[in-house]
Amino acid sequence: MIEKKERPARLASESVAGRYIEAVGRRKTSVARVRIIPASKITISINDKELEKYFPTPSLQKTVLSIFEYTEGKFLVTAKLKGGGISSQAEALRHGLGRALVLFDPNLRTKLKVKGFLKRDPRAKERRKFGLKKARKAPKWSKR
């Protein structure tokens, strides 16, 4: 029989030694590849831009930064975002940050899970069906 190799668990001490922790977050068609490194302050760089330049509205910035209210650590965050709209990209980034923070510190899992930051939001656009105008909208029905 073929033996399965066990993946070694990532420890917080490994990441402090200069390594980064990477995770992927998704929402609708947006994908965020997130890397975190422990640092002295929170710095976020998205597609080589600052957070304020990439997400200009305060509500989108709050969506991303809301996850750091439940962590004590400060991190240098670099992310590559692609696909979808700006709002779903912000939520994909938050999802990726949640997954990366759990890899960094497994004790955060319960806090983040209760707040819903670890759940991938499954809502996406429904496909168009044959004979209909949109996913569910039917053409006007006429008896004669």
Exposure class string for 35-67: b at 16+ Cβ within 10 A, else e: bbbbeeeeebbbeeeebeebbeeeebbebbbeb
Domains and CATH numbers, the chain: 12-115 (3.30.230.10)
Among residues 70, 73, 63, the alpha carbon closest in space to that of 32 is found at: 63
For residues 21-49, give the mean pLDDT: 95
Q: How confident is the model at residue 73 (pLDDT cuts 50, 70, 90)?
A: confident
The pLDDT score that the predictor gives to residue 5 is 56
Q: How confident is the model at residue 144 (pLDDT cuts 50, 70, 90)?
A: confident
The pLDDT score that the predictor gives to residue 11 is 43
Show the tokens assigned to 85. 């709209």
